[in-house]
Amino acid sequence: MIFLKNISKEYKNGVRALNGINLHIEKGEFIYIIGPTGSGKSTLIKILDGEEIPDSGEVEVAGVNVGKLKHRQVPYYRRKIGVVFQDFRLLPKLTIFENIAFALEVVGKNKREIRKRVREVLKLVDLEEKAKSFPHELSGGQQQRAVIGRAIANSPKVLIADEPTGNLDPDKSREIIQLLEKINEEEETTILMVTHDSEIVNTVKKRTVALEQGYIVADIMKGGYIKHD
């Protein structure tokens, strides 16, 4: 589903964010990307998202050569992937239902389709009772579930989650992981989760890729957080 071949990226300020990354992720996989700040995780997400173009190498996601996309093709590519950014919040003046519907409205779906899909998504993220609530009436964990719901509303083949448990307590974090696992199974979505959370990586074991200074330093199928000094 995701192929990265020899990806390198250097920013204009001279920072080499990624150095010859090779990564192959199968359809339906659930993988963690771990690494300290500045290891290149964010750049990796931006390249997968089509926001940045790699200096060299090839990126293929869901059959699309992402590095070669023209500006106007990027939005259509984005409909195939879902991205949950750490700092993306819900629109405060819209209800949870409307927030999720928003993702479908902006890609031009018709009303009936939207209503049907939003109900499905709300059920999946277990927020059916909160459909008419506004974001500020929800807990942090519930808000994060709504954000994930919005990201998967367009039934993306790949879901990229950047620190989805970043601001949550361990219980709520586990809930989010369970939700992602459920999406992984029920929607057959390939999931790539960037995280700092060693607790989660060690308890809910998945394939784990460790990045450091732009290199992949470990790729462990059975998972577990790798400690460095």
Partner 1 sequence: MIRSLSFHFKSAIKNLFRHFGMTLLSLTGITIILTLIATFVVSSVNIGAITNGITKNIKIQALVDPVVTSEEIKTLQSAIQTIDGVESVVHKTKHDELESFIKNTSTGDQESAFAQYRGAENPLKDAFYVTLKNQDSLIGSTDQAQKQRLQTIRQKISEIKGITNVFYGGSSVEKLIVLLSNIKIIGYVITGILGILSIFLIQNTIKSTIYARQEEIAIMRNVGASNGFIKVPFMIEGIIIGLIGSIIPSTIVILGYPSLYKVVNAVKVVKLIEVQPFVYQVALILAGIGMVIGLIGAFLSTTKYLRFKR
Residues lying near partner 1 in the complex (CB under 8 A) are found at 50-52, 69, 71-72, 74-79, 82-83, 85, 88-89, 91, 102-103, 105-108, 110, 150-151, 153-154
Query: For partner 1, which is the closer residue by CB, 3 or 102?
Result: 102
Q: Is 98 helix (H, G, I), strand (E, B) or coil?
A: helix
Q: How far is the CB of 122 from partner 1 (least distance, A)?
A: 16
Token pair 């807990």 is found at 139
Helices and strands per DSSP (H, E), number in the chain: 7, 10
CB 50 within 8 A of CB 69: yes
Minimal distance in Å, beta carbon 163 to partner 1? Answer: 15
In angstroms, what is the minimal distance from the CB of 199 to partner 1? 28
Beta carbon of residue 167, minimum distance to partner 1 (angstroms, whole number): 17
81 vs 200, beta carbon nearer partner 1: 81
CB of 156 to partner 1, least distance (A): 9
Considering only CA atoms, which of 115, 117, 120, 172 is closest in space to residue 144? Answer: 172
Is the Cβ of residue 154 or residue 190 nearer to partner 1 in the bound state?
154
> Given the complex with partner 1, which of 145 and 206 has the nearer CB atom?
145
Structure tokens at 132: 């008419």
Q: Is the dihedral of CA 68, 69, 71, 72 positive or negative?
A: positive
Whole-angstrom Cα distance, residue 15 to residue 94?
39
Closer of 15 and 53 to partner 1 (Cβ): 53
> Per residue in 74-84, is it b (16+ CB within 10 Å) or e — as a string?
eeebbeebbbb
